[in-house]
Structure 1
Amino acid sequence: MEQMEIKYQRILVAVDGSAGAEAALKKAVKVAQRQQAHLDILQVLNLNSLSYDGNGLSLDGKKVYQVEQVNESYLQNLKQKLIDEKQLPAAEITTHLRFGNPKTVIVNDFQPEYQNDLIIVGATGKNFIERLIVGSVASYVIRAARCDVLLAH
């Protein structure tokens, strides 16, 4: 029987600085290179988890803006690193910063808007109790996505 290779056009990888996200990014870069696909790198900032600083004070607009600027800078540096070190074409990498619940932003908002045909997620870095309470983003994406999902370990 002839094996049919699936050709992905647009790959979505969500990053959050965790080891799982790093594994997902490495895998996404390899797949994008092999498939000559566009790579969307998405970081979702959950304002609920950012709503209080270490002193129990709620974040104001200025602090949210600072968090946004730090993360935009991180994404731009990450894109440049992929261009320089992995020779990915700049036109084939787009970085995105969104606010909200990562699960719903990835599955319900971003993927339908950008028509990604593959989502690559990292295995969760959360401990058992956190997974019980909030659930893992990866498990939600695997269950709810309307396209192929690859779990990177």
Structure 2
Amino acid sequence: MDKMAHKYTQILVAIDGSNGAEVALKRAIESVKHNQGVKLDILRVLDLNSLEYGGAGIALDGERIYKIEQANEDYLLKLKERLLKNNEIDSDKINVHLRFGNPKVVILDFQKEYQNDLIIVGSTGKNFIERLVVGSVASYIIRNADCDVLMARTNFQKKE
């Protein structure tokens, strides 16, 4: 990424625990390490309507939502500490954010609010049927973002 014609300064990567998100995060970290003046926003969006949290008609009460929020905030802070330490990056170069809602909507709203000029997304972890039913967040972001979007592929191998 350090040889791109356009100089990006504010990168957004949304993480969800998938392999694709991990690849996107690695690409974003490399960009921050190798390009002066680049800052990274790491965003985790919790969709409480998804099967991951509710599902099967299980209602989430305020206490469970609070515990989910605290666990994710702790995760993000530890992730930031680990990324800073392992990559020798200044603490002001990475910010972590937690939001609730539909990831498709929240990511695009976040990008506008924080004026990110590049979003790095991971390739979807969904199978063909899941993409047909609910759609891929990554494909939605690519179609609707107001800035450049880079798709980080899990099976990409750099040729020397």
TM-score by shorter chain over 0.5: yes
Shorter-chain TM band:
over 0.9
SS at 2:79 equivalent: helix
Question: Deviation string for 1:110-136 (max 9, x for gaps)?
Answer: 000000000000000011111111100
Which one has a larger percent helix, Structure 1 or Structure 2? 1
Question: For residue 150 of structure 2, what is the aligned residue in structure 1?
Answer: 150
Note if contact 1:103-1:137 (Cα within 8 Å) is conserved in structure 2. Answer: yes
Structure 1 unmatched ranges of 5 or more: none
Aligned-pair RMSD on alpha carbons? 1.6
Q: Is 1:5 paired with 2:5?
A: yes
CA distance in 2, matches of 1:81, 1:4: 27
Are the counterparts in 2 of residues 22 and 122 from structure 1 also a CA contact under 8 Å?
yes
Structure 2 residue matching 1:110: 3-state secondary structure: helix
Q: How far is the alpha carbon of 1:57 from its aligned partner?
A: 2.6
List 4+ stretches of structure 1 deviating above 6 A.
none
Matched, 1:115 2:115: yes
Q: TM-score, normalised by structure 2?
A: 0.88
1:96 aligns with 2:97: yes
- CA distance in structure 1 between the aligned counterparts of 2:86 and 2:4, rounded to whole angstroms: 31
Name structure 2 gaps, 5 residues minimum: 154-160
How many equivalent residue pairs? 149
- The 8 Å contact of residues 13 and 42 in structure 2, kept in 1 or not, is answered as yes
